[in-house]
Structure 1
Amino acid sequence: MNKSVTFTYSLAALGVASFLGLSASSALAHDGKEGHKHYTASAKAHQIAQQNLIIDTHIDVPYRLKKDWEDVTKATARGDFDYPRAKAGGLNVPFMSIYIPANLERTPGASYQLAHELIDSMEALAYRAPGKFALAASVDQVMQQQERGVISIAMGMENGSPIEGDLNNLVKFYNRGIRYITLAHSESNHIADSSYDIRKQWNGLSPFGKELVTAMNEIGVMIDISHVSDDAFWQTIELSKVPVIASHSSLRKYTPGFERNMSDDMIKALAENGGVIMINFGSSFVTQQANRYGAMIRGQIEKVQEQYGADSDEAKQRIAELRAKNPYPFATLEQVLDHIDHVKNLVGIDYIGIGSDYDGVGDSLPEGLKDVSSYPNLVQGLLDRGYSEADIEKILYKNFVRVWREVEAYAAAN
């Protein structure tokens, strides 16, 4: 191996700062060594969080517990969610994500099986701690359970692959409490193309996907367009007779070229449809730096491994140095607030909600929004930016409740 070649470990020195649209000095300001801010929400922010419903439409507890079980009815050592932290943050309605990995669709029955197992786990959670949790399948149940002081577990299915091309399965999952379905996930499936998948096999929705949109309207399951391709989004908006949601998406304005987030034109169309974009907190959804970090660091790691051998001690040492000198560029609460500001300025306050992706984005959460105890920090940030309490209530729950009730009403009339 040619050890005469030397490596420069700073991504900024390698031109990454320029690639990300930063100066070298601004890149260093995000290196985790500087700029850490301690967020302290005021008594007013805590009061707003505790006195109002907080609905977060995307929390990945079910799959987290399948992989690494902990008793979330008590304080846990790991993860972003547990009962004490949820109560401290004022969270009333976590929509628990029934997350189905995209590759399971290649094995008949696997998606369907996992979906039922994850729903079982949420039923078991509510059964084990009836004084803390209760399942919720309607807005009225949520409101009643808020009065009782218990946390309502609502459920959304992330990836429609468990439907398996059979509308009878939609009925089964509705009867088990599924109240939104994310049409696709990281790969195109039998329903829709994925924003992440370069194979756009359907050029949007499949023929069955178009049937499913109508059937979801009629039964009362909200349509979630997070993860789908742009063409699938536009076709869904055209077909749906009720508002749709983006359960955990942020803005392409701040992550250019990232199709998983929503463009301004899409947000305008979503608002015209009456829908809501639920802002994702994950750093890679919030800033361009974090969004491109993974690809850049992987590229440098591959160069080290190519030069020194993937399993060599020299490569391991140099990769450790590379990571130490270029830590993950966490987003901040302020940058999440920028996304909210932009939606408000673009289409108004009535189309914004919270879809944090807690327990779904690993350790990439922004400074100030690290777990479900952090909602008062978000409230404080909104207060600091001049949002009224009425505006904040819309973001915390009223906008989403409006959509959920409209979906319920349409289904009841059909």
Structure 2
Amino acid sequence: MDFLIKKLFSIILLTALVISCSAPKKEAINYSELPDDRLTQIADSLAKSFIIVDGHVDLPFRMNVKGFMITKTVEDVSVETTGNFDFPKAKRGGLDAPFMSIYIPARYQETGGAKYFADSLIDMVSRLPETFPSMYAMANTPADIEVNFEQGLISLPMGMENGAPIEDDINNVKYFFNRGIRYITLTHSKDNQISDSSYDTAYTWNGISPFGEQVIAEMNKWGIMVDISHVTDSAAFDALRLTKAPVIASHSSARKFTPGFERNMPDELIKAMAENGGVIHINFGSTFLSKESRDKFDKMREDLTNYRAENGLTSDDSVYTSYANQYAIENDVYEDVQKVADHIDHVVNLVGVEYVAFGSDYDGVGDSLPKGLKDVSAYPNLIKELLKRGYSPEDIEKICYKNTFRVWKKVQEVAQELQ
């Protein structure tokens, strides 16, 4: 069936469902009062009708781990895989534009080769549409995503996780823009030449470095979104002070639920980001969602390390993996889809529905994904939970893509002015 016919059918189905369940004419629909199976249908229909953008999916590094650097091939993500992302799962979940994370491990800051490694991952992403042209397409603008959506293609915009590949050459900012990078996470797990990292304790720059100030200005000039996930609070506030365009957090959650975890964003930073016009994309990882889950995962790691040592096992042994899976279930280490909705609620209550989006970190947070959101087929579960909580379809559409598009388009406008 032609994609446009499918889309029309989806819209007709949603309209029919709403009409059949609605109260008298002109009264607002209370989705929380609908039968569960009907709400499931509506959530699935919304997921298929709206563009869904995800701020951070780590498919490129997953494919690299599977041998890209040796074979120069791509993993066959046209079929079901054991990973969080592939084409069938994305279609079931309604995912249309996952930002491909060009993740650069911090070790490249010490060994060198960060730019080469970034280029290799960009090359690999670009081969996906070449290999599967009926499934994937590159996307450098919101308009590209809209065109691809109409054609039934999954867009592959790219964001670079860690500014290390810029090295010490400011011209590399424009270079990576020309290569298709549309946001740069200023640093990752260690302080780099641009910014301090929330995972580091050195506080090399007490925020953004002098070179980092030039990098942010250059990002503004060429239309690359400034991503403040992974940076320290002081660096984030520096970035907000320096930027001439709205910023994003591509995969962060609210620190209110994880006291002391600087990787998540405190309320004052969320408020400042909203004043800047930016958007926080909520990370789905259980350890980002609650202190309770973080504590359980810490204990699990310790217990499982001891179990392997006592039994002479490696992490790949089937005996160990079976034990680890059972341990996680019995000790209820995973959060659930409701907790992700709690984070969205918190941001909305704090600053409004215009400043929150999805930033799952699929294929990047390992086995810590919450119940009900284990892979990219599960976005309807989160949409269903938001409907239960009183979010309107218009609200959900903003969260799915409109908020991200608003920031992205503004960044483009600022770049045109600066150029």
TM-score, structure 1 length as denominator? 0.85
* Residue identity matched to 2:107: N
- TM alignment of 1:68-107, pairs within 5 A: 68=66, 70-76=75-81, 78-107=82-111
Partner residue in 1 for 2:344: 340
Match of 1:50 in 2: 48
More helix by share: 2
Q: Deviations over 1:134-166 (max 9, x none)?
A: 100111111111111111100000000000021
Offset of residue 301 of structure 1: 6.5
Question: Counterpart of 2:367 in 1: which secondary structure?
Answer: coil
Q: SS where residue 98 of structure 1 aligns?
A: strand
Deviation sequence 1:255-308 (CA, Å, 0-9, x none): 000000000001000000000000000000001122223433455567x69xxx
* Aligned equivalents of 2:259, 2:326: Cα separation in 1: 25
> Do the aligned partners of 1:181 and 1:223 also contact (CA within 8 Å) in 2?
yes
Shift in alpha-carbon separation, 1:323–1:289, aligned structure 2, 3 A = farther
Partner of 2:151: 148
Farther-moved stretch of structure 1 (329-338 vs 310-319):
310-319
- Displaced runs of 4 or more, over 2 A: 38-41, 292-302, 310-328
Measure, in 2, the Cα distance between the counterparts of 1:95 and 1:313.
Answer: 41
Question: Cα RMSD over matched residues?
Answer: 2.3
Kindly tell me: are residues 322 and 400 of structure 1, through their superposed partners in 2, closer, same or farther at Cα, counting changes over 3 Å? closer
Of residues 363, 366, 377 in structure 1, which corresponds to 2:381? Answer: 377
Q: Following superposition of structure 1 onto structure 2, how do residues 241-252 of structure 1 map, counting pairs within 5 Å?
A: 241-252=244-255
- Could you tell me which residue of structure 2 aligns to residue 60 of structure 1? 58
CA distance in 2, matches of 1:67, 1:215: 32
Which residue in the other structure is 1:386 paired with?
390
Task: Check whether the contact 1:39–1:377 (CA below 8 A) recurs between aligned residues.
Answer: no
Q: What SS does structure 2 have at the residue aligned with 1:189?
A: coil
Instruction: Between 289-298 and 198-207, report the one with greater CA deviation.
Output: 289-298
SS at the partner of 1:102? coil
Structure-2 residue corresponding to 1:139: 142
SS in 1 for 2:101: strand
Secondary structure at the residue paired with 2:107?
Answer: helix
Distance 1:329 1:335 in 2: 13
CA distance in structure 1 between the partners assigned to 2:76 and 2:243 by the alignment: 39
* Paired residues of 2:287 and 2:297 also in contact (CA < 8 A): no
Decide which moves more: 324-333 or 259-268.
324-333
Q: Identify if the C-alpha distance between structure 1 residues 83 and 376 changes in structure 2 by more than 3 Å, giving closer, same or farther.
A: same
- Alignment correspondent of 1:225: 228
- In 1, are the aligned partners of 2:304 and 2:324 still within 8 Å (CA)? no
CA contact (8 A) 2:228 2:250 kept: yes
1:358 and 2:369 equivalent? no
Aligned to 2:241, which of 218, 238, 242? 238
- Aligned counterparts of 1:321 and 1:95: Cα–Cα separation in 2: 31
- 1:275 counterpart residue number: 278
Unpaired runs of 5+ in structure 2? 1-35, 68-74
The gaps in structure 1 that reach 5 residues or longer are: 1-37
Q: Identity rate of aligned residues, in percent?
A: 49
- The equivalent of 2:70 in structure 1 is none
Query: How far did residue 312 of structure 1 move?
Result: 4.5
Matched, 1:160 2:163: yes
Inter-CA distance 297–372: structure 2 relative to 1 (3 Å threshold) = closer
Matched ranges for 1:152-301 at <5 A = 152-299=155-302
The separation in 1 between residues aligned to 2:52 and 2:91, in whole angstroms, is 11
Residues 39 and 368 in structure 1, CA contact (< 8 A), matched pair in contact too: no
**Letter of the aligned partner of 2:273 in structure 1?**
L
Distance 1:370 1:322, change over 3 A: closer
* CA distance in structure 2 between the partners assigned to 1:107 and 1:318 by the alignment: 33
Q: Secondary structure at the match of 1:85?
A: helix
Aligned partner of residue 97 in structure 1, secondary structure: strand
- Paired AA for residue 373 in structure 2: L
The amino acid across from 2:160 in the alignment is M
Alpha-carbon deviation of 1:327? 3.7
Q: Identify the residue that residue 30 of structure 2 maps to in structure 1.
A: none
| Bigger shift: residues 194-203 or 139-148 | 139-148
Amino acid at match of 1:55: V
Q: State the alpha-carbon separation in 1 of the partners of residues 251 and 348 from structure 2.
A: 17
Listed one character per residue, the Cα deviations across residues 326-380 of structure 1 (whole Å, up to 9, x for unaligned) are 6461011111100000111010110000000000001110011111110111111
Does the CA contact (< 8 Å) of 1:333 and 1:378 recur in 2? yes
| Contact preservation (8 Å) 2:253, 2:289 | yes
CA distance in 2, matches of 1:287, 1:261: 11
Structure 1 range deviating more: 191-200 or 321-330: 321-330
Contact 1:91–1:372 (8 Å) recurs in 2? yes
- TM-score when scaled to structure 2? 0.84
CA contact (8 A) 1:41 1:377 kept: no
Instruction: Give the conservation status (yes or no) of the 8 Å contact 1:40–1:377.
Output: no
Residues paired across the two proteins, number: 370
User: In 2, Cα distance between the equivalents of 1:112 and 1:98?
Assistant: 11
- Residue 39 of structure 1: how far off its partner (Å): 10
Task: Tell me the amino acid that sits aligned with residue 87 of structure 2.
Answer: Y
Query: Structure 1, residues 177-217: CA drift from partner, whole Å, max 9, x if none?
Result: 00000000011111100000011111011110111111100
